[in-house]
């Protein structure tokens, strides 16, 4: 089945630095990818919709200048957390759909960010 790969699976950084998380669709192309964030003991919250070749669409309350999304190819979307602070520490998960396959939304394994 469709596989979505995320890298890194976990990252620790200092406050004020930027962190990039990659999301790749393996063996299928994805014009659209979704980025979610999950805080401990809470459900997944959609942050933004990443569109290949165009600007991402952000959910209400998500700062687009802080969470930069780039979807430069049909198999790669990146999320950059700029000037990270401890409150940005969270589990970030991306997802995509293989429209030529089972046509269900497939999620990556997630990336755990800890900002010190």
Query: Which region, judged by CB under 8 A, interacts with other proteins, from 14-22, 70-78, 82-90, 97-105?
Result: 97-105
Q: Exposed, middle or buried, 105 (CB in 10 Å: 0-12/13-18/19+)? A: middle
Kindly tell me which of 19 and 48 has the beta carbon lying closer to other proteins.
Answer: 48
Phi, psi of 67 (to 5 degrees): -115, 90
- Dist CA 101 CA 65 (whole Å): 34
- Kind of pairing, strands 57-58 and 32-38? unpaired
Distance, C-alpha 52 to centroid of its chain: 14
Residue 74 as a binder of other proteins (CB under 8 A): the answer is: no
Query: Which region, judged by CB under 8 A, interacts with other proteins, from 12-20, 29-37, 69-77, 81-89?
Result: 29-37
Kindly tell me which of 1 and 86 has the beta carbon lying closer to other proteins.
Answer: 1
Phi, psi of 45 (to 5 degrees): -120, 125
* Residue 32-51 contact track with other proteins, rule CB under 8 A, x = bound: x-x-x------xxxx--x--
Query: Which region, judged by CB under 8 A, interacts with other proteins, from 12-20, 31-39, 63-71, 74-82?
Result: 31-39
């Amino acid at each position: 089945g469709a596989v979505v790969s995320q890298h890194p699976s976990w990252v620790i950084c200092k406050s004020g630095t930027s962190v990039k998380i990659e999301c790749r669709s393996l063996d299928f192309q994805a014009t659209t990818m979704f980025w979610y964030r999950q805080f401990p003991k809470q459900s997944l919250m959609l942050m933004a919709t990443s569109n290949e070749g165009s600007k991402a669409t952000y959910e209400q309350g998500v700062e687009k200048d802080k969470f930069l999304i780039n979807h430069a190819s049909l198999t790669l979307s990146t999320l950059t957390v700029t000037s990270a602070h401890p409150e940005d520490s969270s589990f970030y998960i991306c997802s995509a759909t293989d429209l030529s396959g089972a046509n269900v939304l497939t999620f990556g394994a997630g990336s755990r960010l800890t900002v010190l």
